[in-house]
A and B are shown apart, each in its own frame.
Chain A
C-alpha cells in the first residue's frame, strides 16, 4: 500500500507500539478519581425513586446534623443559583430541567439533593437521612403514547411531549413509491443502550469566590469549554480540564454538565474547598445522561423488478428521555449525511419526531445515531433481495455508488469523498468464502438447524469539522466550526515536544502523533514526546468525537510541523547564508535540497533561537515553539457535509440460533473495510474490533428496560449485560485502502465504523436464521427470550 505522505515514511503506516501504554499498563495514569486535594469533600446524591412526581418538601435537618457533613444542597436551592441545563440556542431550548430536580422529578434516579462530606461513606449516610415528600404523577413511558394529546406532560411549559417533528424530502418519493415494482416495508425498534465505559463520569470542582474563579477537573472528552453561563452569579472565570479517561464513547460530553454545576456550587458554599463526585456504576446505569437510540422506525423502500432501489422512506420516532440537556437529540440528524448509505437512491423521505418521556436523558454514543439507520437500510435491502429472488450480495452490488462516481453528491447535499464499494464487498466475500458459507448454511438448514448468513455494508462519516449542514437545523439555523489544535516545540537537544489539547482517551492519538512528527522531521519516535497541554488558555479543540481525530489531528499536526519547519529553515538560511528555498528538512537536520553540502542539526537551530537570538533574522521570533489551529476551509452553509471523510465496510456474519433457547451464537465474522490510509494498522484493528463488540452488545445483550411505571429494570451489570470475551467473536479483518483526497495523508475517520455496521450484520443474520420458520424479528435486540418467543409463535402457526 502506498501512503500519500509528504515525507519519508518510516513509522506512519506501521503497527508500532503505543507510546502511552507504559503509564496505562503500570496503573500510573491519573484518572479523575485518582486526584486528591487537601481537605477535599465528597459528594453523594439523593436520587428520586419515582419516574414522575412533584416535590412537595425537603427536610435536610438530620443530614445536615451528621458529623462530617459540610453542606447539603437541595434541588430547590440549586435552582435559585443556576439556569436550566440546556443553554444552547436551537430547538431544544425550554426542554430541560436543572442540575438537580427542584419542583418535580422527571425520571427515576434524577438527583434531588446533594451532600458534601469528608468522605463518600458519610455523604451517602447523610443522603439517606434526607426526607423528600413527593406527589406521584402519571409516568410517561411509551414514546407513542407520549405523543398523544391526552398524555401527561413531562414539561408543563410545553404544549405536548413532542420535542420536534421534521420532514426532509428529496426528489419525489411518493411518485417513485407508486411507480415501484416492489415495495418492502417493516417497523423496527432499536434498544436503549449506552457506551458504558469502564470508568464512569466524574468531576472535582473548586470555586474560589475570593479569587473569583472556578476550576473543574473532569474526565470530559472536550476540555477547554466554560460553564459560566450555567450560573445566575457566575465566577469571573472558569476552566474545565480533563484527566485521562477510562473509555468514553461519547458518554463523557454532555453528561458531565449536571455534575459540574452541582459540585461547583457545593464548593462555593464550602468556602472553595475541592469537591469530588464520581458516579458509581449503578448511578451511571440509572441516571447518567448517556442513554442512546431508543428508537422506533417505520420504513418503506421501493425497487424495480431487477432489484434497483429507487426510493426510501424512513420514519423515525426517537425517545430522548426526560431532558434535552445536551446536544444528543441531534443524533436524529446525523443520518441525513449518509441517508441512502452506499446506495444510489434519488428519492428519499426522512420523517422524524422526538418525544420526551420519564426516562433517563439521552446522551451521545459512538456512531451518533447512524447504527440504527444502517440497520434499517440493510434489513430492507435483504427483504427486497428475498422478494426478488436475489442474493444479498448481489442486490447490494446492483445498487452501489460506483468507484468512478466519486466525489458523489447524495440527495441531501453530502459529498462522499472516495471509495470502491464493489471491491470492498468482493474482498469480504472472497475472504469469507461466501459461496462455501452458503453451501454450509443450506446443508445445516436441511438438518433443521437455524443458521443465518448476512452480508451488510455501511458508511462511516468521519472527521467532523463543523456543526453544519443538517445539524444547523438543530442549532436553530446557526453553524459552528469544530477546530483542532496541536503545539510543537523543539529543544536544543533536537527532541520534540508535542502537545494535544484533550486528554488521553484510548484510541492512540499520542502514538500516531509521535509517528507523524517523527517521520516529518526524520527523527526517531524516541525523540518525540506527546503530552496533554496544561495551558491555562488552551488552543481551540473539540477533542475526540465523530470519528474525527485521525483526520483533524493529522491536519493540525502537519500544520504545526509546517509552521515550525518554516521557522527553522528561515533561521538556518540565515546561519548557512543560503536561500531558504534551497533548503529542506531531512533526518533531523536542515540540508541543501538534494542532500549535498553542509547540514545543520535541528537541535542546533533551536539552541540558536534560544541562546543566541542575536543571530536570528529580525522578523523571526526567537521561540522554537508553535501552535497551529486547524479548521476546514469550507463554507458553513445549510448544504454540505459536516464530515470530511466517508469510510466504508462490509461485514459478513454466520450465526446459528438455538431452537431450544433462542440464543444466537456467532460462528464466523469477516470484515473488509476501507478507512483510507491506516496510520497504525493495529490501532485501526482495535477500533474495529471494539466497535464490533459494542454492536454485538446492542443487538444481542444490552438493553435499558423500563417497566410501565417508568421504573428502570437495568441498574447493575447483572441486568445490563455487557459482552464478555465469550460473546464477542474473534473477527477476520481485511483492509482495502482508498486514500481520501480531502484529508492530510489520505486518512478517513475509523472510530465508529464497526458499530455502524455490526448491529445490521447481526440483525440480518438472525432474521436469515429465522426465515425458514416464517417469522421475523422487528426488535433489533435479539436477546434469547425475544427470539425464543418468536420460535414458539412459529411452532403455533
Chain B
C-alpha cells in the first residue's frame, strides 16, 4: 500500500462564519477536523464520526450537515456556519437563551449541533408543529437530557423568535 498517495493536498477556499479563507488540506481531511484544527471552531463536537449522533452538525450553505461525513475539500467554494456564529459577543441568540431558560442541556456536548439544526428549522418554519420539531431532533442523540427539556426549549425558542 502506498500511503503517500492518499495525502495529496488541495487548495480549498471556504467561508466559515462569514470569513473567507484559502488553505491547503490533505484530500482525506474531514470537514470536522479542518474546522476544529484549522479554523479553531472547536464548538464542532465530534461524537461518533459515522454520521449517527449529529453532534458535529454544521450549516453548509444553510443546510444542516454532518461535518464528520464530509471531506474538507467538499467545502471548497461553500459557506459554513458553526455554533461560534450564533451569539453576538456575550449576548446569546434567542435559541441559546431558550435552551438556558428551559434547561435544554446538561453536559452540552450535543447542544451545538442541535442548536444549528433548530436554527435552520425555525428559519424555514417559524411556527413548527411538534412533529416537525421531532423530525429535526430525531437526527440528534443526546445522552443526558432524555430530550424533554430540549423539546420545551425548541418550543420556547420559536415563541421568542416570533416575538422578536
Would you call B150 and A725 a contact (CB within 8 A)?
yes
Whether A34 sits at the interface, judged by CB under 8 Å, is yes
Would you call B105 and A25 a contact (CB within 8 A)?
yes
Nearest CB to that of B44 among chain A residues?
A27
* Partner pick for B92 among A25, A66, A244, A247, CB 8 A cutoff: A25
The 0/1 profile, CB within 8 Å of B marked 1, for residues 24-38 of chain A is: 111111110110000
Would you call A247 and B109 a contact (CB within 8 A)?
yes
The 0/1 profile, CB within 8 Å of B marked 1, for residues 352-370 of chain A is: 0000000000000000000
Whole-angstrom distance between the Cβ of B19 and the nearest chain A Cβ? 16
Q: Which of B8-16, B59-67, B120-128, B140-148 has 4 or more CB atoms under 8 Å from chain A?
A: B140-148
Would you call B99 and A21 a contact (CB within 8 A)?
yes
Would you call B141 and A505 a contact (CB within 8 A)?
no
Would you call B148 and A724 a contact (CB within 8 A)?
no
Would you call A17 and B146 a contact (CB within 8 A)?
no
Would you call A694 and B147 a contact (CB within 8 A)?
no
* Partner pick for B149 among A29, A249, A682, CB 8 A cutoff: A682
Those of B118-141 within 8 Å (CB) of chain A? 134, 137-138, 140-141
Whole-angstrom distance between the Cβ of A681 and the nearest chain B Cβ? 10
The 0/1 profile, CB within 8 Å of A marked 1, for residues 42-54 of chain B is: 1111111110110
A31, A247, A282: residue with the most chain B Cβ atoms closer than 10 Å: A247
Would you call B109 and A26 a contact (CB within 8 A)?
no
Classify the interface of chain B: helix, strand, loop or mixed.
loop
Nearest CB to that of A67 among chain B residues?
B4
Q: CA of A247 to CA of B87 in the docked complex: distance in angstroms?
A: 24
Would you call B103 and A249 a contact (CB within 8 A)?
no
Those of B59-88 within 8 Å (CB) of chain A? 82-84, 86-87
Would you call A199 and B100 a contact (CB within 8 A)?
no
Nearest CB to that of A122 among chain B residues?
B3
Q: Which of A395-403, A484-492, A715-723 has 4 or more CB atoms under 8 Å from chain B?
A: A715-723
Nearest CB to that of A26 among chain B residues?
B87
Would you call A26 and B100 a contact (CB within 8 A)?
no
Would you call A31 and B100 a contact (CB within 8 A)?
no
Would you call A689 and B111 a contact (CB within 8 A)?
no
Whether A613 sits at the interface, judged by CB under 8 Å, is no
Whether B26 sits at the interface, judged by CB under 8 Å, is yes
Would you call B52 and A725 a contact (CB within 8 A)?
no
* Partner pick for A689 among B50, B108, B140, B148, CB 8 A cutoff: B148
Would you call B143 and A24 a contact (CB within 8 A)?
no
Would you call B41 and A281 a contact (CB within 8 A)?
no
Which B residues lie within 8 Å of A522 (CB)?
none
Which B residues lie within 8 Å of A726 (CB)?
134, 138
Would you call B106 and A506 a contact (CB within 8 A)?
yes
Q: CA of A500 to CA of B56 in the docked complex: distance in angstroms?
A: 30
Would you call B106 and A690 a contact (CB within 8 A)?
yes
Whether A783 sits at the interface, judged by CB under 8 Å, is no
* Partner pick for B84 among A26, A195, A246, A728, CB 8 A cutoff: A26
Would you call A725 and B106 a contact (CB within 8 A)?
no
Nearest CB to that of B149 among chain A residues?
A686
Whole-angstrom distance between the Cβ of A302 and the nearest chain B Cβ? 37
B28, B36, B43: residue with the most chain A Cβ atoms closer than 10 Å: B43
Q: CA of A721 to CA of B32 in the docked complex: distance in angstroms?
A: 23
Nearest CB to that of A197 among chain B residues?
B143
Q: CA of A29 to CA of B105 in the docked complex: distance in angstroms?
A: 13
Those of A480-512 within 8 Å (CB) of chain B? 504-508
Would you call B100 and A197 a contact (CB within 8 A)?
no
Whether B107 sits at the interface, judged by CB under 8 Å, is yes
Q: CA of A26 to CA of B103 in the docked complex: distance in angstroms?
A: 15
Given contacts A682-B149, A689-B148, contact A246 B108 (CB under 8 A): yes
Q: CA of A686 to CA of B143 in the docked complex: distance in angstroms?
A: 11
Given contacts A22-B90, A22-B92, contact A27 B143 (CB under 8 A): no
Whether A586 sits at the interface, judged by CB under 8 Å, is no
Q: CA of A694 to CA of B44 in the docked complex: distance in angstroms?
A: 25
Whether A517 sits at the interface, judged by CB under 8 Å, is no
Would you call B146 and A693 a contact (CB within 8 A)?
yes
Nearest CB to that of A681 among chain B residues?
B103
Would you call B101 and A692 a contact (CB within 8 A)?
no
Whether A125 sits at the interface, judged by CB under 8 Å, is yes
Whether A711 sits at the interface, judged by CB under 8 Å, is no
Whether B158 sits at the interface, judged by CB under 8 Å, is no
Q: CA of A15 to CA of B149 in the docked complex: distance in angstroms?
A: 13
Which B residues lie within 8 Å of A694 (CB)?
143
Given contacts A246-B107, A281-B50, A717-B50, contact A26 B86 (CB under 8 A): yes
Would you call B43 and A198 a contact (CB within 8 A)?
no
Would you call A722 and B143 a contact (CB within 8 A)?
yes
Those of A235-256 within 8 Å (CB) of chain B? 244-249
Those of A662-700 within 8 Å (CB) of chain B? 682-683, 685-686, 689-694
Whole-angstrom distance between the Cβ of A64 and the nearest chain B Cβ? 14
Would you call A197 and B109 a contact (CB within 8 A)?
yes
Whether A187 sits at the interface, judged by CB under 8 Å, is no
Would you call A683 and B49 a contact (CB within 8 A)?
no
Would you call B84 and A121 a contact (CB within 8 A)?
no
Would you call A26 and B147 a contact (CB within 8 A)?
no
Which A residues lie within 8 Å of B147 (CB)?
689, 693, 724-725, 728, 730
Whole-angstrom distance between the Cβ of B73 and the nearest chain A Cβ? 14
Whether A785 sits at the interface, judged by CB under 8 Å, is no
Whether B112 sits at the interface, judged by CB under 8 Å, is yes
Those of A750-793 within 8 Å (CB) of chain B? none
Whether B31 sits at the interface, judged by CB under 8 Å, is no
Whole-angstrom distance between the Cβ of B110 and the nearest chain A Cβ? 5
Given contacts A246-B45, A725-B134, contact A690 B145 (CB under 8 A): yes
Those of A262-305 within 8 Å (CB) of chain B? 280-282
Whether B151 sits at the interface, judged by CB under 8 Å, is yes
Would you call B96 and A25 a contact (CB within 8 A)?
yes
Whether A731 sits at the interface, judged by CB under 8 Å, is yes
Which B residues lie within 8 Å of A195 (CB)?
143
Q: CA of A650 to CA of B87 in the docked complex: distance in angstroms?
A: 41
Whether A18 sits at the interface, judged by CB under 8 Å, is yes
Q: CA of A718 to CA of B44 in the docked complex: distance in angstroms?
A: 22
Q: CA of A722 to CA of B46 in the docked complex: distance in angstroms?
A: 16
Whole-angstrom distance between the Cβ of B56 and the nearest chain A Cβ? 10
Would you call B100 and A198 a contact (CB within 8 A)?
no
Nearest CB to that of A121 among chain B residues?
B28
Whether A310 sits at the interface, judged by CB under 8 Å, is no
Which A residues lie within 8 Å of B140 (CB)?
724-725
Nearest CB to that of A19 among chain B residues?
B100
Would you call A689 and B146 a contact (CB within 8 A)?
yes
Q: CA of A692 to CA of B142 in the docked complex: distance in angstroms?
A: 13
Would you call B141 and A722 a contact (CB within 8 A)?
yes
Q: CA of A731 to CA of B108 in the docked complex: distance in angstroms?
A: 22
Nearest CB to that of A692 among chain B residues?
B146
Would you call A249 and B143 a contact (CB within 8 A)?
yes
Whole-angstrom distance between the Cβ of A609 and the nearest chain B Cβ? 32
Given contacts A25-B83, A722-B52, 17 further A-B contacts (CB under 8 A): A22-B92, A24-B105, A26-B83, A26-B86, A27-B82, A33-B36, A198-B45, A198-B47, A506-B106, A686-B106, A689-B148, A690-B144, A690-B146, A717-B52, A725-B147, A728-B146, A730-B147
A-B contact pairs, 24 of them (CB 8 A): A17-B100, A22-B90, A26-B86, A27-B112, A33-B36, A66-B3, A198-B55, A198-B141, A198-B142, A199-B47, A247-B109, A249-B143, A504-B107, A506-B106, A686-B145, A686-B146, A693-B145, A716-B48, A717-B48, A717-B50, A717-B53, A724-B140, A724-B147, A726-B134
Q: Which residues of B are in contact with A by a Cβ distance under 8 Å?
A: 1, 3, 6, 26, 28-29, 36, 41-50, 52-53, 55, 82-84, 86-87, 90, 92, 96, 99-103, 105-112, 115, 134, 137-138, 140-151
Among all A-B residue pairs, the 8 with the closest Cβ atoms:
A27-B43, A24-B108, A246-B109, A506-B107, A689-B146, A693-B146, A717-B52, A506-B106
